[in-house]
Structure 1
Amino acid sequence: MSFIYREQYATAPLTDVVRKVWVMDNARNPQPFSSKTVLPNGCFNLALVTGAGLDVRNRRGPLAMSEGIYFCGQARLSVDTTIRPFTSVTMVQLHPWGPARLTTASFADTADAIVPLAAVLPALHELLTTCLGQPETAVLAFLQTHLPPLIATDLPLLRQACLRWQHTNGTLAVLELAQEVGCSIRSLEKQFRHALGLTPKAFATVLRVRGVVDALQRPHASPLAQLALEYGFYDQAHFINAFRKMVQRTPGQFVPAEYMLPLMGTGY
C-alpha cells in the first residue's frame, strides 16, 4: 500500500487547545515517502511517531526522529520530510495559544525546534504515551477525556489576538491589532515571544503567506499581483521574498501537489 494522509478535527471542549489530528501514514508501505513538504501555519504540533521513524530538515538543520513523542515549535520555514518504510506519524495540532494554556513555562526559544515532548510538557508526554500506535479517532477520544483537566491557564488577550489575525490572514498591522485587543505593542510582543516563540510580526507573516498558499489552491485564483495586495504585501519584491523564504519556491513556481496541505483547503 502507498502513503495515506488523513485528518480529523477536534470538538469542544478539546478545541480550547487542539485544532485537529492529522496523520502521515506510511505504515504499510515498504518504501520511504519523501515527495511532500510541510508548510508553517502558525500552529504547534505534537508528533507521535511509530515504526522506523522519519527524517526532517528545517531551519535548524536535519533531524532523525525515531519512535516516540515530539514537541514541534512554531515553524517559520517549510519542513522537508521523509517518512521511512512502515512508519506512521500522528500529528496533534495545537492552536497558537494551546501550549501556553498547559504550562507557565516560556516557549521563547522553541521556534523551529523539534524536541522530545517530555522535555517541554512532561505531564502531557506521560498522558500521550498510551496513544502511541492508536488511530487518530482513538487519540482524539482519549484527549477529549484526559486533556481538559490539564488546562490551567486562561489567555484571553493572546487568544483574541491570534484569532483576529487568523481571521484576517495576518493583514492587520501590529499597532492596529494591539489597539483592538486593548494593549500596547510592547505587551503584545512580550506575550507572543513567551507563548509562541515568535514576534507578532513573524506570526502575521506566516499567516499572510499561508493565506496566499490557500488562495492559490482555489479554482480560478486571482493574479499574483492582486493576491499580494489582498494579503497585505504592498511591495511586489517583499511579497516574492517572503513567499520564497517560507515556501522555498517563488509564487509562480508553487505547485500544491508538492506540499502536505490540509484537506479543508485552509492553513489554520
Structure 2
Amino acid sequence: MNLYSEHYVSQKTERFVNKIWCLNNSIGESLIENKLVLPNGCFNLAIVSGNSIQVHTSKQKYEMDEGFYFCSQMTNKVLVNIQTKTKVTIIQLHASTLSMFPKYDLSNFTDAIIKVDANELPFPTKIETDLHSDISALLNTINSYFEELNTSHPDKNIVEKICEKIKINNEEITVLGIGKSLEVSQRLLQIKFKIATGLTIKKYIQILKFRKSVDQMVNSDLDKLSLTDVALYNKYFDQSHFIKKFKDVTKTTPKMFNSDSYFLSKKR
C-alpha cells in the first residue's frame, strides 16, 4: 500500500475541488515522521482516521486525533508526523471555493488548522472516519455535492474571476491588470480576496509561481535544466531572485532541496 495517493474528482466538481489525496499509514508498523508539505494555494478539509497526526505550521504545532479539520492557506512548508494505524484523507479545495459561502471571513486565518464538528459539514451524506473506508464512497459524496453546487451557482463570483484571470495569464498579471480586466477597483479586489482566502492577491500569485517551479524541478532532470532555466521559465527576475523566494518557503536552496522528504503532487 502506498503511503501517498491521489484521487480525482469529476469535471464539474473540478471547479471547486482540485483533488483528494491520502496519507495512509493504516497498516504501517512505525511512525512516519518529518515529512513535509508545501503551500499550493488551496484550502484543505482533512479527515483523520485511526490514531493521530502531528502537524507543525509556521505558527503552531497541532495534535490531530480522529475527526475533521479545516486547514487554512499555508504560506510556508508544513511538517507532518503520522502515527501507526492512521490515515489522513484530504479534500483539496480551490482558493475561491470558500467564497461561495459568504458567512466565512478568513482574512486573518492563514497557517492554521481548526477542528470542525461533523454536523457542520455541508454534505448531505455522512462522511465516515473509518480507517478502512472506501475512497470511492467519499468521491461519490464530494462529486454529488459540488456538481449540484455547480448547477445552482452557474455564475462566477469576483474571487473566482480573480483566480481565473491569474490562471489564464500563467501568474503573470498584476492587481492593476486584474482590476482593469474585470472593471473593478483594486481596493475592492483586495478586500474581497483577502476575506475569502486569507491572502493578498500578490501573495497568492507568489505561492502559485513557487509551486509551479518546484513541480518543474521535481519532474525534470536538473542536470539538464538549470536553475536559471527554471527561474526564467517561471518569470522570476533572475536565478538569485528565484533562490531567495525558494528559501523563504522551504528554508533551503533549490540545490539542497530533497524531494523525497516531501509529499508532492503526482504528474498527471
Q: TM-score range by the shorter chain?
A: 0.7 to 0.9
The residue correspondences of 1:61-76 to structure 2 (distance < 5 A) are 61-76=60-75
Deviates more, 1:66-75 or 1:236-245: 236-245
The one-letter code sitting in structure 2 at the alignment partner of 1:130 is I
Q: Name the counterpart of 1:245.
A: 248
Q: Name the counterpart of 1:164.
A: 165
Q: Name the counterpart of 1:122.
A: 120
Structure 2 gap ranges (5+): none
1:206 and 1:115 mapped to 2: Cα distance?
Answer: 22
1:220 and 1:144 mapped to 2: Cα distance?
Answer: 36
Q: Is the 8 A contact 1:169 1:204 kept in 2?
A: no
Q: Name the counterpart of 2:43.
A: 44
Q: Name the counterpart of 1:139.
A: 138
Instruction: Work out whether 1:84 is the aligned partner of 2:98.
Output: no
Deviates more, 1:175-184 or 1:93-102: 175-184
The one-letter code sitting in structure 2 at the alignment partner of 1:223 is S
The residue correspondences of 1:227-238 to structure 2 (distance < 5 A) are 227-238=230-241
Deviates more, 1:34-43 or 1:229-238: 229-238
Note the C-alpha offset of 1:174. Answer: 2.5
TM-score by length of 1: 0.88
1:47 and 1:150 mapped to 2: Cα distance?
Answer: 21
Note the C-alpha offset of 1:113. Answer: 1.3
Structure 1 gap ranges (5+): none
Q: Is the 8 A contact 1:17 1:101 kept in 2?
A: no
Q: Deviations over 1:107-136 (max 9, x none)?
A: 1122111001349x9243x75753322332
SS in 2 for 1:90: strand
Note the C-alpha offset of 1:188. Answer: 1.6
2:169 and 2:40 mapped to 1: Cα distance?
Answer: 14
The one-letter code sitting in structure 1 at the alignment partner of 2:184 is C
Q: Name the counterpart of 2:201.
A: 200
Note the C-alpha offset of 1:226. Answer: 2.8
CA 1:53/1:129 → structure 2, altered by over 3 Å: closer, same or farther?
A: farther
CA RMSD, Structure 1 to Structure 2 (Å): 2.4
Q: Is the 8 A contact 2:99 2:159 kept in 1?
A: no
SS in 2 for 1:107: coil
Give the percent of matched residue pairs that are identical in Structure 1 and Structure 2.
Answer: 29
CA 1:209/1:179 → structure 2, altered by over 3 Å: closer, same or farther?
A: same
Instruction: Work out whether 1:175 is the aligned partner of 2:173.
Output: no
Deviates more, 1:103-112 or 1:233-242: 233-242
2:169 and 2:260 mapped to 1: Cα distance?
Answer: 25
The one-letter code sitting in structure 1 at the alignment partner of 2:196 is A
Q: Is the 8 A contact 2:25 2:85 kept in 1?
A: yes
SS in 1 for 2:33: coil
Q: Name the counterpart of 2:53.
A: 54
1:129 and 1:109 mapped to 2: Cα distance?
Answer: 30
2:129 and 2:146 mapped to 1: Cα distance?
Answer: 16
The one-letter code sitting in structure 2 at the alignment partner of 1:122 is E
Q: Is the 8 A contact 1:53 1:64 kept in 2?
A: yes
Deviates more, 1:187-196 or 1:102-111: 102-111
TM-score by length of 2: 0.88
Q: Name the counterpart of 2:23.
A: 24
